[in-house]
């Protein structure tokens, strides 16, 4: 098998259907393709759709709990491909895109993971697919808006790395799991996704461990892939335009609040040992304030956002 696609789904039935149909079209061209769908306790009919309409076309796995890293792990354990592609239900690659990325990896043995230029429906770049490692300084420049004021500065632009040369492939630190193509031998050294995370942070953790295993992560700007950003969490713009997902406000609130928890886990696991006590204290205090602000926001706004 050449490519194993792994899709983790939660209540995005319509997007999931479109996503799987797109991959089945790819299979007509590439042939050596398997589609693995892991469902994280959806209640919108996703399971019924996969088990009946796509019974003989996909490998369907029911996750006993709603946890994104666990979903990735279950999909990986079932995969047999030389390359593993983690894909969001709102992301639509083409066969030529995949072949171009595989060609690049095969020509560059030091590269273990590649991603592409993800482009949203309005044509803008999804910068979450092109990020640097979040150190205390990088976080400070991002949250204070310095990276927006000086986007091409290496000193202030470390979050989205907009100073990189987009005329050619280049190394990055982090991409999102909505689209990442991973060489199986690199994946085997990392072995698993950290299920301490619920959502957010798990992709940064995974990317860092890919690099610690001796592999590089590359961004290929010449390959553009459509990404209906936000469909997987029921974001209003995507969900309403595409009838993409069943909007579960409690889940959306949990997802938003989990961002701070993910920051805390990642920092404690990978960053704290690099810095003295007073820096760590400031970082954790900043996370505490951010969590309180977000909690207050949801208390005031309720579920109607």
Contact (Cβ atoms closer than 8 angstroms) between residue 248 and residue 233: no
Q: Nearest Cα to 37, choosing from 27, 28, 19?
A: 19
Helix 202-212 with 249-266: angle, nearest 10 deg: 30
Beta strands in the chain (DSSP E): 3-9, 33-39, 59-62, 83-87, 91-92, 111-119, 170-172, 179-183, 216-227
DSSP string, 84-143: EEEE-TTEE--HHHHHHHHHHHHH-TTEEEEEEEEE-TTS-B-GGGSB----HHHHHHHH
Residues 211-246: pLDDT tens digits? 999 999 999 999 999 999 865 554 444 444 444 444
CA angle 263, 266, 269 (to 5 degrees): 145
What's residue 273's pLDDT? Answer: 95
Residues 53-94: pLDDT tens digits? 999 999 999 999 999 999 999 999 999 999 999 999 999 999
**pTM score:** 0.89
Mean pLDDT of 92-104: 97
What's residue 53's pLDDT? Answer: 94
Mean pLDDT of 35-59: 95
Q: Is 298's pLDDT higher than 80?
A: no
Mean pLDDT of 194-221: 96
Mean pLDDT of 253-268: 84
Mean pLDDT of 137-164: 95
Give the domain 3-242 fold: Spore Coat Polysaccharide Biosynthesis Protein SpsA; Chain A (3.90.550)
How is the chain split into domains, by residue range? 3-242, 249-301
pLDDT band at 1; cut points 50, 70, 90: confident
What's residue 259's pLDDT? Answer: 86
Mean pLDDT of 92-109: 97
What's residue 237's pLDDT? Answer: 42
Give the alpha-carbon dihedral of 260, 178, 136, 197, to 10 degrees. 40
Average pLDDT, the chain: 90
Q: Nearest Cα to 6, choosing from 93, 56, 71, 57?
A: 71
Q: Is 126's pLDDT higher than 80?
A: yes
Q: Give the span between the Cα atoms of 98 and 155, in whole angstroms.
A: 34
């Amino acid at each position: 098998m050449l490519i194993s696609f792994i899709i983790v789904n939660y209540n995005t039935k319509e997007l999931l259907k479109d996503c799987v149909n797109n991959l089945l079209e790819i299979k007509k061209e590439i042939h050596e393709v398997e589609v693995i769908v892991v469902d994280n306790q959806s209640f919108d009919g996703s399971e019924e759709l996969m088990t009946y309409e796509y019974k003989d076309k996909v490998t369907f796995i029911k996750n006993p709990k709603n946890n994104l890293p666990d979903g990735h792990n279950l999909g990986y354990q079932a995969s047999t491909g030389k390359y593993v592609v983690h894909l969001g239900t709102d992301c639509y690659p083409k066969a030529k895109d995949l072949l171009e990325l595989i060609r690049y990896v095969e020509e560059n043995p030091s590269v273990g993971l590649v991603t592409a230029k993800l482009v949203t429906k309005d044509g803008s770049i999804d910068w979450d697919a092109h990020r640097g490692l979040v150190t205390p300084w990088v976080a400070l420049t991002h949250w204070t808006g310095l990276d927006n004021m000086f986007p091409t500065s290496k000193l202030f632009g470390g979050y989205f790395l907009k100073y990189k040369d987009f005329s050619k492939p280049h190394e990055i630190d982090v991409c999102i799991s909505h689209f990442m193509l991973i060489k199986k031998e690199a994946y085997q050294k990392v072995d698993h996704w950290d299920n301490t995370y619920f959502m957010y942070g798990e992709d940064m953790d995974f990317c860092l461990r890919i690099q610690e295993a001796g592999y590089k992560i590359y961004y290929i700007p010449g390959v553009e892939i459509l990404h209906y950003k936000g469909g997987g969490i029921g974001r209003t713009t995507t969900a309403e335009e595409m009838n993409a997902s069943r909007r579960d406000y409690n889940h959306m609130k949990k997802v938003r609040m989990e961002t701070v928890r993910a920051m805390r886990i990642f920092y404690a696991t990978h960053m704290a040992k690099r810095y003295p006590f007073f820096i760590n204290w400031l970082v954790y205090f900043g996370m505490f304030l951010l969590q309180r602000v977000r909690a207050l926001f949801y208390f005031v706004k309720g579920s109607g956002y």
